[in-house]
Amino acid sequence: MQGAKDDDVTTTDDNVTNRRLRLLVGLVVVCGAVAFAAGLTDLAESWHPFEPFRPVVCCLIVATKISGVRIRIRSSNYRMAADSAAVLMASTVASFGWVVVGIAIGVLITNLRARLPLMKLLFNVAKESLAATAACATMVSFGAPAVDPDLLAGDLSHHLFVMPLAALAYAIVDEGLAFPVIALATGTSVRQRFAEHWDVRAIARATELALALGATALVTVDRWLILGLSPLLYALHLSSVSRVRSREERAAWQRLARTTDELNAVDLDGVLHSAARRAAELFSADEVDVEVRDTQLPARMVRGTDEEIVYDGPPESAPPIRGNAIVAPLESHDGDIAIGELRLLFHGEVTLTEREQYTFRTFAAALCTAIRNASAHAETRRLAESHALAAAQDPLTGLANRRRLEQYATEALTGPVRGVTALALLDLNRFKEINDTLGHSAGDKVLVEIARRLEASATPGDLVARFGGDEFAILLTELPAPPVAIPRAQVLLGAIAAPMDLDGMRISIEASAGIAVADGTTDIAELLRRADVAMYQAKKSGQQITRYAATRDTADVGSLVLGGDLARALAEEEFVVEFQPIVDLGTAEVIAAEALARWSHPDHGDLPPARFLDAIERSTQLGAFADSVLNQALAAAVAWRAAGYAIPVAVNVSPRSLLDPRFSESITASLHRHGLPPDALVIEVTESLMLSQLEVVDEVLDALRAAGIVLALDDFGTGYSSLSTLARVPVQELKIDRDFVAGMDSPAEAAVVRSTVELGRSLQVMVVAEGVESEDHRRRLFELGCPAGQGYLFARAMPLPALLAALDRGFGGRPGRLAAPLHEAGEVVRIPKRARNGSQWLDRSS
């Protein structure tokens, strides 16, 4: 049984042009022709017309050669035949000529049946002739020439001893001539070709040698047993081939089962790599391509052998295919739309058997299912990771969000102690002006750039987060000491303050920062609260950075306790309203009164608004509190009108109340319920972001103005966009913040007061100065043209009975007056009219 190739040069192209290959093939053909001619000469000399034994041996060689069966290993076709066994046995009982002619005829018939090109046919005939010549020459050289057929019954032990050497010579010549030609034709190395499937060839040649030894021993018993030797050898050959094929098929199905089991993975990389390697092993392919497309993932191709993956990437970048490809679409058994291709790559011409074709389709269908499952799992995992990332990442800047910061800070605060941990909370100053002036898209660009700068300036181990709006937080870790947090924060603020280009403009952004240092018992919630308190203090004081100090923390546990008492306080009417008069600065006559809430707490005594207003703003009791204050204020207005003082009452309104579209209706209903005209009420609104941004607030204010209710803008000049707010909010009164009044000794502060008064005169709205605490303040305001004011100079906030008593008592025998007038008797002082439904809110003279 022979394991050498019978189509050794079929791997080369029919039109091969390699000169070295042509020279080598030509040399082999010439040498083979010489050997064949020598064989014919020897045949002619040893011809005996009436001696049939040698022709029978020659026919045996021909029969064994043409009865071979092909076995494919990758792109190489191996013939399983007993021709070398027949040659070895014939070299003992027949002369050299009969052996060479027999093998040449057998190769010629086999190649003609395969329809090989002439050059390939000549090469194969020459190669086999030379191999047979080498075997016969070895037998002769070692003293074992062919014996006379009549002497076969003699001692042939020496021939049997020399026969393995002849088999070795046959194999050396056979493969020594074949593999260099194949290497040249395929562009591979000779060593690689010799190493390829050497174990298969070695087993095949050992088997053939055993058959030759057995056949030779058999014919020594009776030379005519050779007539039965050919069928016997062929039967043994078929049996061996059948066992090989059966074993190969069982192994193939077992490999298919193992391979499809390996494909049941959720990792797409593992599926594709395993498929490429296992398919190469399963189908004896030189290489395998798995190309995937039309999935939720990018197009991809994996190429591999049974030992390694040689390429993994985009299909368009893959190395070109070398050789021939057998393709199966990656589709399920139902024949749905293919998601790619599975390609078996062979360096030579290969045709799959029917069984291999079925296995190939089955494998492709299983691979299609595995790829879809892995792709679905990969997409599910990607979505899960995306959702997890979105849950921990700010979508605009890509920074961590509050949730991620809290997780990271918790790990830092509860893990091993590595230095000091601090939190810096940053808020951009005047950022709203960018949105108002340049638009929100420009504001987004600024936020993205600031996020980039903060990350670049942060120390490794720190975490930069965005809390939304223009607020950022940086967790500072592994500080050597608490004071180091301040310079670290200064570096961050310096990075923010550097000028940046925005849509062709060069702008600078400043920020305020609050820093809180963890103290071993601080959790992230408390750390955030402390940093927020510090940041608020920094903004209020005009400083860039403020470190948290417990002594300045007004948001203590007591405030939380007060928040829990709100519902009870409202139910038991613990909130009372006091009134501070608003006077004409020239005449000192009371022209209005502002309602100010107080909390008569049973445990803490009388509490000023600064202690509880923030808690109310954050609670669900704001509406009830506002109704209580409004009702008390309107009831007081009814009382002093009954006493002869027709002055309005001013009530502060929370910006949150203005978010209720029904607010104006509830106000007018309250006025109607108390029997008061609309001009008896002044609604004071605090300048804030929502006043200039929210459409619903504008609608509510317009409804109040249309109802005849007076609107006042409180603390004018302290907000971020006073003029833009004034242009949108239909106010009839401006109230100058007490800080400007107190600082009038400063030219800058005096200029603010003067410009506000002039603005009020130009717009014909009333201007009221808060915090008038001295005659000097009063006189200077009056000289600037400010018509009205309120403050301790005239009266503190007082309960209604005390206010009525003060009005009745008056000053200098004049009820309703709280101080001496500033002008002489008979001098006329005109105060700007306050346009409201065609009537005047104030037009006094004396």
Per domain, the residue ranges of the chain are 19-250, 263-384, 402-553, 559-797
Tokens 């089962």 -> residue: 257
Q: What distance in Å separates the CA atoms of residue 457 and residue 313, rounded to the nearest whole number?
A: 37
What the block records as the tokens of 552 is 């300045």
Pairing of strands 681-686, 710-716: parallel
774-to-200, 753, 788 alpha-carbon distances in Å = 115, 16, 14
Q: Which residues pair with 651 in a beta bridge?
A: 595, 683
Q: How many CB atoms are located within 10 Å of the residue 726 CB? A: 21
Per-residue burial over 256-290, b = 16 or more CB atoms within 10 Å of its CB, e = otherwise: beebbeebeeeebeebbbbbbbbbbbbbbbbbbbb
- The SS3 call for residue 262 is helix
**pLDDT score for 594:** 96
Question: Which pTM does this prediction carry?
Answer: 0.41
Class of domain 263-384: alpha beta
- Rounded to whole angstroms, the Cα distance separating 545 from 429 reads 13
Euclidean distance between CA atoms 40 and 47, whole angstroms: 10
**Per-residue pLDDT for 488 more than 60?**
yes
CB 580 within 8 A of CB 796: yes
Q: Which residues pair with 327 in a beta bridge?
A: 343
Distances from the Cα of 844 to the Cα of 376, 587, 770, angstroms: 82, 9, 20
Residue 479 contacts residue 423 (beta carbons within 8 Å): no
Q: Which of 243-257, 337-351, 503-517: highest mean pLDDT?
A: 503-517
Rounded to whole angstroms, the Cα distance separating 533 from 547 reads: 9
Q: What percent of the chain has pLDDT over 90?
A: 19
CATH of segment(s) 559-797? 3.20.20.450
CA distances from 759 to 28, 643, 762 (A): 113, 35, 5
| Rounded alpha-carbon distances, angstroms, from residue 569 to 236, 596, 600 | 110, 17, 9
pLDDT(1) > 50: no
Distance CA 280, CA 446 (A): 56
CA dihedral 243, 244, 250, 256 (to 10 degrees): -170
pLDDT digits (tens, 9 = 90+) for 80-103: 555 677 777 667 767 777 778 877
Compute the distance between CA of residue 455 and CA of residue 453 in angstroms, rounded to an integer.
5
Contact 180, 190 (CB under 8 A): yes
Q: Is the pLDDT confidence value at 541 over 50? A: yes
Strands 575-584 and 788-789: antiparallel
Nearest-angstrom CA–CA distance, 741 and 736: 7
Burial of residue 511 (number of CB atoms within 10 Å: 0-12, 13-18, 19+): buried
- Lookup: tokens for 335: 């024949």
Return d(Cα 649, Cα 767) in angstroms, integer. 16
What is the spatial distance between Cα 488 and Cα 437, in angstroms, rounded to a whole number? 32
Per-residue pLDDT band at 259 (split at 50, 70, 90): low
Q: What value does the CA radius of gyration of the chain take, rounded to a whole number of Å?
A: 53
Q: Which two tokens stand for residue 37?
A: 């001619």
For the segment 238-243, the average pLDDT, to the nearest whole number, is 59
Q: Are 33 and 100 in contact, with CB atoms under 8 Å apart?
A: no
Question: How, if at all, do strands 733-736 and 710-716 pair?
Answer: parallel
**Distance between CA atoms of 100 and 33, rounded to whole angstroms?**
11
- The token duo for 277 is 């390697």
Q: In whole angstroms, give the CA distance from residue 40 to residue 103.
A: 12
Q: Residue 690 has what pLDDT? A: 43
Strand order in the sheet with 287-292: 309-313, 300-304, 287-292, 340-346, 324-329
Cβ distance 647 to 608 under 8 Å?
no
The mean per-residue pLDDT over the stretch 628-651 comes to 94
Predicted confidence band at 19 (pLDDT cuts at 50, 70, 90)? confident
DSSP code string of 54-110: HHHHHHHHHHHHHT-EEEEETTEEEEEB-HHHHHHHHHHHS-HHHHHHHHHHHHHHH
Query: Is the pLDDT higher at 78 or at 548?
Result: 548
pLDDT above 80 (res 595): yes
CA distance linking residue 138 with residue 629, whole number of Å: 125
Provide the percentage of residues in the chain whose pLDDT is more than 70.
74
Q: Does the pLDDT value for residue 562 go beyond 70? A: no
CA distance 508 to 492: 14
Question: Distances from the Cα of 492 to the Cαs of 158, 459, 487, 524, in angstroms?
Answer: 98, 10, 9, 21
| 98 to 64, 110, 519: CA distances (angstroms) | 15, 18, 105
772-784 pLDDT per residue, tens:
999 999 999 998 8
Architecture per CATH, 402-553:
2-Layer Sandwich (3.30)
